[in-house]
A and B are shown apart, each in its own frame.
Chain A
Amino acid sequence: QVQLVESGGGVVQSGRSLRLSCAASGFSFSGHGMHWVRQAPGKGLEWVADIWANGFTTYYADSVKGRFTISRDNSRNTLYLQMDNLRVDDTAVYHCARDLSFGSGSDWGQGTLVTVSS
């Protein structure tokens, strides 16, 4: 069965960096686009970024563009999110999701919590 397991979250000071990982199993990772979606405490879902199966095409939400970088290692079946210059409003649970069809996430991880303190 499809499994997505995020890791790398924690408490970090504003302005610092953090790298999240998403380990994928149970499907052909190299054949699917992948997304990062976050949810601030008590708030709704916010799309962060995606990366196509080829690993070269990426898109970002305006709120993270220039600060976050999505990447993947198809040999390790792992998705990454490098988060630089973190801000307090980046505090959220970060989920990775497998793309089914142009933006629809068919499978989701349980998420990893990132807390940015001032």
Chain B
Amino acid sequence: QSALTQPASVSGSPGQSITISCSGTSGDVGANKYVSWYQQYPGKAPKLMIYEVSERPSGVSNRFSGSKSGNTASLTISGLQTEDEADYYCSSYTTINTVVFGGGTKVTVL
């Protein structure tokens, strides 16, 4: 149950687009469509932003989008806003019915 691999930090200017990668294996990310993305502010509970690779829960801005290719999933934030500055985590369901998270990516809006 090794953690998924995310970059430690990603930054961008307001209005730009950024992409966060999430690298796994054929036993997790590459195995199914059950990849999720979460946003977390310091001291707060995580918030689901994307599920099933590219689905957005009700109320989540369409500036957030997800995709997957092989063993790597990606979260793209378009039209970056100051409020997007937070930590982002990916997760995946695995072939042994467990869940594995990525190490997290700190997004900084310059």
Binding site for B on A (CB under 8 A): 35, 37, 44-47, 50, 59-63, 95, 100-111
* Neighbouring B residues of A110 by C-beta, 8 Å: 44-45
State how many angstroms separate the Cβ of A89 from the closest Cβ of chain B: 15
B89 and A44: CB pair below 8 A? yes
Binding site for A on B (CB under 8 A): 1, 3, 32, 34, 36, 38, 40, 44-48, 51-52, 57, 89, 91-93, 96-104
A47 and B45: CB pair below 8 A? no
A44 and B102: CB pair below 8 A? yes
State how many angstroms separate the Cβ of A66 from the closest Cβ of chain B: 14
State how many angstroms separate the Cβ of A88 from the closest Cβ of chain B: 20
Query: Out of B52, B97, B101, which one reaches A45, CB within 8 Å?
Result: B101
State how many angstroms separate the Cβ of B60 from the closest Cβ of chain A: 11
State how many angstroms separate the Cβ of B105 from the closest Cβ of chain A: 10
| Contacts beyond the supplied A37-B101, A104-B91, A108-B45: 13 A-B pairs with Cβ under 8 Å | A44-B103, A44-B104, A45-B38, A45-B46, A45-B91, A60-B98, A103-B34, A103-B99, A104-B34, A104-B48, A104-B52, A108-B47, A110-B45
Question: Could you list some 24 contacts between A and B, CB below 8 A?
Answer: A44-B3, A44-B89, A44-B101, A44-B103, A44-B104, A45-B38, A45-B40, A45-B89, A45-B91, A47-B91, A59-B96, A59-B97, A95-B46, A103-B93, A103-B99, A104-B34, A104-B48, A104-B51, A105-B48, A106-B57, A107-B48, A108-B45, A108-B47, A109-B45
B97 and A105: CB pair below 8 A? no
Give the docked Cα–Cα distance between A21 and B57 (Å): 26
Given A50-B99, A108-B46, A110-B45, are A101 and B1 also a contact pair (CB < 8 Å)? no
State how many angstroms separate the Cβ of A37 from the closest Cβ of chain B: 8
